[in-house]
Amino acid sequence: MILGIGTDLCNIDRIEATLARFGDRFRNRVFTPREQAKAEGRRDVAGTYAKRWAAKEACSKALGTGLRMGISWKDMAVSNLRSGQPVMHVTGWAAERLKSMTPAGHAAIIHVTLTDDHPWAQAFVVIEALPLPVLTLPVPVPT
């Protein structure tokens, strides 16, 4: 079953201006070291950050919280599989929220997809709950 969906559109030029103005204060407040390493190693630094910003906003919407004051942006972090496919990891308050919205007997999966076409970066997030396999205990064989 679907537990939540979220989307966000982020202006890459706005991220570029924020990077120029606030530098590491912005980077370190919003992005994990892994996200920063990915973005700083790219030709399109601002576009890579903008996709990850959009992913965090979209994830907060799918979690049903939005980005309230005091929450940590770094508790929603994007990494990439070898294929390039993005993956969302949640920790801290976001992991707690995910746990509280997941029905008993289910595991939650966060799906994320990103795209950019200057000046826009876009993310969609879908949170799905899958039923956990029912444990089948070995039946004792009468002797």
Ligand X SMILES: CC(C)(COP(=O)(O)OP(=O)(O)OC[C@H]1O[C@@H](n2cnc3c(N)ncnc32)[C@H](O)[C@@H]1OP(=O)(O)O)[C@@H](O)C(=O)NCCC(=O)NCCS
Closest by alpha carbon to 93, among 78, 77, 72, 79?
A: 72
Q: Restricting to residues 88-117, name those near ligand X by CB under 6 A.
A: 114-116
Q: Restricting to residues 31-90, name those near ligand X by CB under 6 A.
A: 48, 51, 80, 83-86
**Between residues 93 and 120, which has the closer beta carbon with respect to ligand X?**
120
Where does residue 131 fall: left (phi above 0), alpha (psi -120 to 50 degrees), or beta otherwise?
beta
CA distance 94 to 100: 10
- How many residues touch ligand X under the rule CB under 6 A: the total is 10
**Between residues 97 and 121, which has the closer beta carbon with respect to ligand X?**
121
Closest by alpha carbon to 33, among 16, 18, 52, 20?
A: 52
**Between residues 53 and 94, which has the closer beta carbon with respect to ligand X?**
53
**Between residues 117 and 134, which has the closer beta carbon with respect to ligand X?**
117
Q: How far apart are the first and last CA of the chain?
A: 44
- In the complex, residue closest to ligand X by CB: 84
- Contacting positions for ligand X (CB under 6 A): 48, 51, 80, 83-86, 114-116
